[in-house]
Amino acid sequence: MQSFQLESIAKTAKEGARMAGELSLKRMKQPYEVEYKTSASDLVTAVDKEVEEQLVKLILSRFPDHGILGEESTFKQDPNQFDTLWIIDPIDGTTNFVHQQINFSVSISVYHRGEAMVGVVYDPSRDEMFFAVKGEGAYLNDRKLHLDRQVTLEEALLCTSVFWNKRAEQIGIDQIVKKLAGKVRGMRLLGSAALEMAYVAAGRLDGYVSMSLNPWDFGAGRLLVEEAGGIATRMTGEPLPHDSKSSVMACNPTFYEELKQYLNISK
């Protein structure tokens, strides 16, 4: 079994995120195919697939025995058969990519035996690289990120995507979020979970909540938040998984417990 080569893995993650982001920006200016995955609000473009393919190629050229879990599944494998797993979302915020041409990101995380070791979220439109290595802190470009500001729930700027989830209505979380919206300073919806979590790490948002996300949406963002001094868990407070869907809450530690009380759901 190979040892975990943290430094070269981190370097490749950063390099891959930049390559992927630049490719997305370039392809965005040319015509590309857009398909519905499951509905008119669930898009995938030829660019998502091409970017994922390029990322897979880069990762396997350097680490042929690592596993890859990608949203577009251009490379199908059982994620749990590998010690080291790359979790990639080539374009997080595909709807923004198509409509706004801004507010999308590349998300890459690397897990070793289930533990998040490296997390990168790259916003190519603003050339912002959010980067974290386990135990070594989180950075935005060259600036180290610290969530050392005390923020109460009343002073918090929160971000969510729960409104768009049909299950939210079934379990009544739409009402919970409505109540929460009346309590906090403001609510935002940006449309890229990875970027929203990176913004929590950077202190641009104080918290992010979602009913249901995939590991490629939150895999990198959770390490960014944790390494900046925040907390990222399921809404129940349990640890986030690396291989299944999960609810997510990520925030400044000052009001984590209070926010969890608000989101008091069993799953």
Q: How many residues does the chain have?
A: 267
User: Under 8 Å CB-to-CB from 91, ≥6 apart: which residues?
Assistant: 24, 45, 47, 48, 51, 97, 104, 105, 106
In which residue are the tokens 């590998």 written?
Answer: 82
Q: Where are the beta strands (DSSP E) in 11-114?
A: 34-36, 43-45, 67-70, 84-92, 105-112
Per-residue burial over 197-210, b if 16 or more Cβ lie within 10 Å, else e, is: bbbbbbbebbbbbb
Stretch in the footprint of Ca ion (CB under 5 A) among 71-79, 180-188, 229-237, 249-257 = 71-79
Options 10, 28, 67, 71; binder of Ca ion; rule CB under 5 A: 71
AA identity, residue 69: L
Residue 161 CB, shortest distance to ligand IPD, in Å, is: 3
In which residue are the tokens 């929160």 written?
Answer: 158
89 is a site residue for ligand IPD (CB under 6 A) = yes
92 is a site residue for ligand IPD (CB under 6 A) = yes
- CB-based closest residue to ligand IPD: 161
Residue 169 CB, shortest distance to Ca ion, in Å, is: 21
In which residue are the tokens 């009343």 written?
Answer: 154
103 is a site residue for ligand IPD (CB under 6 A) = no
Q: Residue 10 corresponds to which tokens in the numbers above?
A: 């981190």
- CB-based closest residue to Ca ion: 92
Q: Confirm whether residue 83 is marked as ligand binding.
A: no
Binding letters toward Ca ion, positions 189-228, x by CB under 5 A: ----------------------------x-----------
SS3 11: helix
Q: How far apart are alpha carbons 264 and 267 in whole angstroms?
A: 9
In which residue are the tokens 């390559």 written?
Answer: 19
160 is a site residue for ligand IPD (CB under 6 A) = no
Residue 250 CB, shortest distance to ligand IPD, in Å, is: 13
192 binds, among ligand IPD, Ca ion, none (CB under 5 to 8 A by kind): ligand IPD
252 is a site residue for ligand IPD (CB under 6 A) = no
98 exposure class (CB count in 10 Å sphere: 0-12, 13-18, 19+): middle
Binding site for Ca ion (CB under 5 A): 71, 89, 91-92, 217
Binding site for ligand IPD (CB under 6 A): 71, 89, 92-94, 161, 191-193, 213, 217
Q: Residues marked as binding for Mg(2+)?
A: 71, 89, 91-92, 217
